[in-house]
Structure 1
Amino acid sequence: MSIAGSKHPLFANELRADGSFVPQANLFTVPFGYGPGEHKPEAGRYRLLWMAACPYAHRAVIVRKLLGLDNVISLGTASHFRTEYGWEFSLDEGGVDPVLGIRYIKEIYDRADPAYKGRPTVPIIVDVISGQGVNSDYFRLTNYLETVWSPFHKEGAPDLYPEPLRAEIDDLNDVIFRDINSGVYKAGFAHSQQAYEAAYDALFARLDELERHLENNRYLFGDVLTDSDVRLYTTLARFDAAYYSVFNTNRNRLTDFPNLWGYARDLYQTPGFGETTDFEAIRSSYHASPHLRGFANNFYGIYPKGPDEQVWHTAHGREKLGKG
């Protein structure tokens, strides 16, 4: 049964009267830090839960890897097929997370608030000692990893959030989130033609702008790899495999943008990016997950074999670009 013209129950609380999609608020928002009431960074104390198809969870996993925090924050991976109870640890032996002993991420949300009616989302960091959720603020999580977790960074880790650029990075991150990261979902989950077209137009206007910018800049901030690049990459990596067809963001494919496509391949070939990108999970989750089949008109749960991920390994030639 198609969901067109009706509110999909999974996202009902995030749909507005005008047919637009507005993401729900996060449940776990207490920051990491060393002040009163904050969660103190501590090696071995926390576990990051994710599923490989989610772009917001993926960026936390990339930053964790880039900074060497994979040695101090463990990683739990849920299946990319959502069940009626949410994300499930069916990939693990016995169907439970081996550290937390839970079957569903929903269990963490239920412990905090048994009456919680929102979607249990990833990423979420959990205290492995108490089993309680700590932080699910996907918008700020990478910034915490880049700053207050710095005592645990590996030697030679990149400074993804350099202090002189933070105001500019924050401004650009707001734009990337509004028009691109969230923009594809605003288009895909829209329940009116007007809302869909507004999201579609904003998305491609922003991609066109970045395409021009990246003609003379290797990264979004010249030759400096930053948090903004991570945030843009996770949407670009999913664009042709999922968003183009499932969410009707189909004016152009990523491969039709010469500079964005070269930029995305450059990042993919950077340690920490490609090795954490699971195209099979992305394709199957967006096309064949029960909660998204209606969006894709994919009633038999078939997911595409392509695009061929080998093209991500082709030369990009962007090493020659310096500061714009």
Structure 2
Amino acid sequence: KPKVISDDLMEKRYCLNFTLIMEFILLGFSDLPNLQGFLFGVFLVIYMIILIGNGLIIVITKVDPALQTPMYFFLGNFSFVEICYTSVTLPRMLMNLSTQNRHISLVACAVQLCFFLILVVTECLLLTVMAYDRYVAICKPLYYQVIMNHKVCVQLVIGSWVTGIPVVIGQTYQIFSLPFCGSNKLNHVFCDMPPVVKLACGDAFVNQLSAYADAILFALIPFLLILGSYVKIILTILKLSSAPGRHKLFSTCSSHFIVVILFFGSGLIVYFRPKSNHSEGLDKVLSLFYTIVTPMFNPMIYTLRNKDVIEALRKLTLKCKKNHERKH
């Protein structure tokens, strides 16, 4: 009989905790109280760089006639995804740093996680599409215009956006259907899947298994497809007799491959490396790397290593300068 009473009390406490936890506390950088202002300034500058850099790429790929090709069509869409991607996490981080109010409701956390995962999947698939575009252009140049026509390009971009939506919505619903009890402190800078699942009560094995399955489907498989494409691309380039031709093709593809390594490398480490009790700090650093650092460097990588983009930027600057001189 005493054992039955003990079980009842435990159940009541469990239910009480479940009803009390209606929000999380994003710990973020709370362990660095003296650096809050400095971090706010750093992340604000990074956010401005991301918006301006990727915004410029979107503009020049739309207005410059020389960049009206499938490769730059995908690049413009990729830059748009980057802006959306960082806008899901960075503004909230900036608000937390400036106000020191780290509370986030379960609904807001679920919405942030859902949009974040949708954009992650979109970025993974779009990077795969960009690799396929380079594969067709280099390995099958005679069929490039037929295969990569405008209709196909639009369909590939739309497919990259919508493919993961039903899976991600189902995944998010499944995670937040779990009860959350005990600690409500989320030791992360935003609502990401591993730290949220870690706070769930009950059996989270199905959710963890589902998370691994989604990571394999939308991250690992695309990454392997990209690697396979680039193996074929490199073998094709090495067969060319012209040294300048080889250099030009390597330069064109290397920008995309650098972005792939930066993004997939950090993301796959977060989701597939063995978890330990002391991994939260490293998880935060790696998540910042693929959510903030990579989008910041993408415009630089594509512009500094691409003469067409540099020329387009130069023409746009001259045009803006002439328009300004005419007004004055």
So what's the TM-score if we normalise by structure 2? Answer: 0.27
Where is the helix percentage greater, Structure 1 or Structure 2?
2
So what's the TM-score if we normalise by structure 1? Answer: 0.28
